[in-house]
Structure formats: C-alpha cells, structure tokens
Amino acid sequence: MNLKTKLRKNTLIGSRILKTGIAVFITSMICLAFDLPAIFAVITAIVTIEPTTHDSIRKGLVRFPASAIGAALAAGSVYFLGESPLTYTIAATCTIILCQKFKLYEGTLVATLTSVAMIPDLQNYLLLSFLIRLGTTSIGITVSTLVNVLILPADYLDNIELRNQQHIEQIKKTLNESFQRLTSIRDHHYKNMGTYENLKRNIATTDQLLQFQRKELRYHRFKIKKYRRFSIEKQTTQFLHRAVLHFGNLQYLPKNLSFTEYEQILLKRAESEFGLLLTHLDLPIRDSYFQFIDELNNHLRYEFSRSRPSAVHNQVEYDHQLSGKVILFYELLAIHDLLEDLHHHVIAKSVHN
C-alpha cells in the first residue's frame, strides 16, 4: 500500500464532503448577494452532490423539473387553503405522486423539500414567490453540478486498487477455511459461509466503485494512463469474481466425504501451495508447484475413471453423474487455472507500472 493510498484511506474529510461545503458556500454567497432566500438553494446543493460527474449532470436535469412541480404545488395549495396542516399534506403528497408519475424518481426528495419549505413564506405575491423559489433551487442545482464537474473530480482508482489487494487476502482466508471444513474430522457441519459471504459483498462494493469510475472517465478520456489503470483493475476484479464462483462451489460439497491418506496429503499440499502462490503473486512460480498440479490432475483423472453415478440419498430416485470427490478435485484445478491467470496478470501489471 503506497503512502497516497494510506492518506486517502485515513482522511477524515473526503472529497465529497469538501465539495458539499464548497457548493453550499458558493450557493449561499450568490443568493445573499442578490438578496434571495438562500435556504432552498442550500438544501438543493446539499442533496445534489453525487459520486460522479455523470450522475451529477444526469440527476441535475431530473431535479430541475421535479423542483418546478414541487414549487407549483406549494403555491397552488397556499392559494386555495392558506397555511394549514392540510396544505403541507397535499403539497408533499401530490409532489411525490407527480414525480413518480413522470418518472422523476431522483428528483422526488429535492422537490418535496422545496414544496413544504416554501409554504410558510407564500402569503402574498404567489407568482413572484414561485419564480424566486424556483430560481434559487436552480442556483443550488447548477452550482452543485459545476462543483462536482470542475472541483476535485471523483477518482476511485486508489480505493479500488487497495480493495483488490484486500480481496486477495480474503481469498486466502476463505480458501484456508474451505480446506479446514473439508478435512475436519470432528465437525462435518463446519462451514465458512460467513467469510465467503463477506468476500462476495466486498467485491460487489468494488464493482460499484468500478461503475462510478467508468462513468467518470467519460469526461476525462484524454487521460490514457488513467483509463489503462482502470482497465487493469477491472480485469483484476473479474479474476476475483471467478474465485468467488469456484469457492461457492466448494461451499456446497457433500458433508460426508471421506478421504484416503493420499487425498488428505493432496488437500494439505493444495492449501499450502495455493496460499504460497497468493502470497507471492508477483514472483515466479516454483517448479514444485507445477509438479503438484500434475499430481492433482492425475488424481482427478483416476477419480473420474473409477467413479459411478451415485444416489443423492436413499429416498431419491435419481443419481448424480459426478461424485463429490470429482467435483472437489475439478474445482481445485479450476482454482489453479484462476491463480495462474491472476499471477500473470499481476506480473503484467507490474511491468506497466
């Protein structure tokens, strides 16, 4: 982990918080300079800051018409009912209904806040008040969008790279616990689903960050180096998804597998060899590792040749074509292929860097 990544990880005030503060300051300064009520613009600026430039622009285009609907409903409600509990109820409810009707989902919150916050001050000159509130809301949307685009553009690559390194450590832990479950004599019901599920959730979060970064790169295509780095980290995450797939298959192997002494030795060696490779992905693979893979491959062929379709349990009238051991040793070879691909990927990444 480099120093830049550590600093970014431990920073108390992130870029999004800082951009929110800047947007609020600029928005309120503009409104006060023109003697306009700043509260509506500030509320809009706060809720409009988005993780990416793309989302900020796209959602800003949705929030403007939504805010216009909210402001119009507030003015109409006050005109007919004055300020009353029913006025607040009708303005808020109808704003939500119309935003949903016109599929302005991402503008519903801003529109509803605008609608109810306008009501106390809408006593006279309803049309003028409506235009002022709509104008201040537009200022908040515009300022927050420009801040998102121009100031501290979102950059998730350091975070993604750090998370991918952490995922590899999680893979080592999940793999070790999978072997412990398979070779445990005392408790056949031992499972490591918690570690496995955490790994899946964490990689899903990294996927989301990759989506954010991909959207951001639409506005920074001239940065070829950054795009290349994004492509490398995306490929790393794809390898990790393959790992999740194979580990998932290991979770649901039969619990009553019994192993010969030779098979227990193979499993212990697999745990050791895979763990060592994951620890030193950037180093050349040792010859002893490939010798072990040959043994694993030969045993899979032997196990497959001697296996026969087996009943799932006594009450079931159909058979499984692959025995639990065949599935196990096949998955171990599949994990080997994955780790070898990941090894070459890491070596290529170091060359590019």
- pLDDT 10s digits, 176-216: 888 888 877 544 444 556 788 899 999 999 999 999 898 88
pLDDT at 1: 46
Residue, of 267 and 128, whose pLDDT is higher: 267
Q: What is the mean pLDDT of the chain?
A: 85
**Whose CA is closest to 140, among 124, 117, 156?**
117
Q: What is the mean pLDDT of residues 211-223?
A: 78
Give the tens place of pLDDT for each residue, 3-44: 344 444 545 467 788 888 999 999 999 999 999 888 878 888
CA neighbours closer than 13 Å in the CB half-sphere of residue 8: 17
Q: Which fold, 157-352?
A: Four Helix Bundle (Hemerythrin (Met), subunit A) (1.20.120)
Q: Can you tell me the distance from the alpha carbon of 237 to that of 214, in angstroms, rounded to the nearest whole number?
A: 14
Inform me whether the pLDDT recorded for 312 exceeds 90. Answer: no
Least confident of 113-117, 265-269, 280-284, 315-319: 315-319
pLDDT for position 13: 65
What angle (nearest 5°) sits at the alpha carbon of residue 93, between those of residues 89 and 98? 150
The mean per-residue pLDDT over the stretch 122-128 comes to 73
- Alpha helices, H only, the chain: 3-10, 15-33, 39-48, 53-81, 85-101, 108-118, 126-150, 157-183, 193-217, 224-251, 261-279, 287-306, 324-352
- Distance (Å, whole) CA 120 – CA 124: 11
pLDDT over 70 (residue 313): no
Give the pLDDT confidence score for residue 220 in this predicted structure: 64
Q: What is the pLDDT of residues 72-110, one digit of tens each?
A: 998 889 888 888 999 999 999 999 999 999 999 988 988
Q: Determine the average pLDDT of the residues in 211-230.
A: 81
Count Cβ neighbours within 10 Å for each residue of 144-180 and write b for 16 or more, e otherwise: bbebbeeeeebbbbbbbbbbbeebbebbbebbbbbbe
Domain spans of the chain, in order of start: 12-150, 157-352
Which two structure tokens, joined as six digits, stand for 162?
Answer: 């750090």
The DSSP string of 19-38 is: HHHHHHHHHHHHHHHTT---
| CB-based contact 342:239 (threshold 8 Å) | yes
The predicted pLDDT at position 241 comes to 94
